[in-house]
Amino acid sequence: MIIMKEDVQKMVMISNQKLWFATTMVMLIFLQYGAAVGSQRVPAMFVFGDSLVDVGNSNFLNSLAKSNYLPYGCDFRTGAPSGRFSNGETFADMIGRLLGIPYLPAFADPNTVGTRILHGVNYASAAAGILDETGQHYGERYSLSQQVQNFQATLNQLRTLMNGTTLSQYLAKSIAILVFGSNDYINNYLMPSIYPSSYIYNPPDFANLLLNRYTRQILALHSVGLRKLVLAGVGPLGCIPNQRATGRAQPGRCVDYVNQILGTFNVGLKSLVDQLNTNHSGAIFVYGNTYGCFGDILNSPASYGFTVVDRACCGIGQNQGQITCMPLQVPCQNRSHYVFWDAFHPTEVASAILAWRVFSGPPLDSYPINVQQMSLL
């Protein structure tokens, strides 16, 4: 049967209403707190990362990692795909809303110039990793090091819009969100047929390699004036539909080995935050406990309103995770009940829970302080 674009739009409209009801309370809180914090206190946000927070940079790159087609974006405010790897908003979109900051433009968009950059820019790129080679089988992407270089280009533009003192104050009050590490595992270390890293490094050594490279780039961002940085940990990748579909776990179980090897990286990243805060007075670095937050959802889904945790809302094959969401594929109707949107990415509702916990949660969620507290410094 041939499914037309109009048919997909009609089908998703029916379940959009249910989804919006499920997220209404969260969004109302977002608006309330976003207005309270205000964009004057936090003038801009800069987002670095991978497809979890990409807002369309991949649209402009020669990459196989694309999401510029329906049903991606079916629940987005415009009702159309934007290049976000979600049915709606991303985690970073929601943090921005809480801070009173509008949607950030994609760096790769030729229109991201002039006053459009004043509220910040999104540099995130699908398939990107901490290591330059990560995700290379997908084609073009902005790795962490390239994203830091792209930020330098933005700085050059900002220098034409404000004087040096104003720019320094602007950067010091702005917040940077960094979301890296997932691809270095699922699109590098866990793909031995393409990448040799698992033959060269044992899991702890690989995690230390990532942390050393990450530290270099974090310090580069600090050196040019950023003073408030949020470093998101890696979530329980062994539980995503893509990994469940590998057959390396019993039905209904996550791939425990994958989750176990992430421990060194996440523990190391939290320790790095302590070191950075000790060594750089006048700056604040925060660790976002993505693993713990999603672990809570997966362990107690009913308490968050979820009924489906082991398969994707949109995808093909075992757990709907062997092939990711295809163009014009009809997604599940009850998206607010699913933790995962496609083989790799959470639904908008799951992202909303993570965003709220990192923004306002206790040190167990956001360490040593949360993003709301950071914004008030």
The angle at the Cα of 323, spanning 322 to 325, to the nearest 5 degrees, equals 130
Three-state DSSP at 177 gives strand
Chain CA centroid to CA 357, Å: 14
CA-to-CA distance for 231 and 272, rounded, in angstroms?
Answer: 10
What are the start-end ranges of the E strands in the chain? 45-49, 175-179, 228-232, 284-288, 308-312, 315-316, 323-324, 338-340, 366-367
What are the backbone angles phi and psi of residue 265, rounded to the nearest 5°?
A: -65, -50
Active site residues: 51, 342, 345
225 contact partners, CB below 8 Å, separation of at least 6:
155, 167, 168, 171, 172
Q: Pairing between strand 315-316 and 323-324?
A: antiparallel
The answer to whether 120 touches 47, Cβ cutoff 8 Å, is yes
What's the alpha-carbon Rg for the chain, to the nearest Å? 19
Place of tokens 């320094």: 168
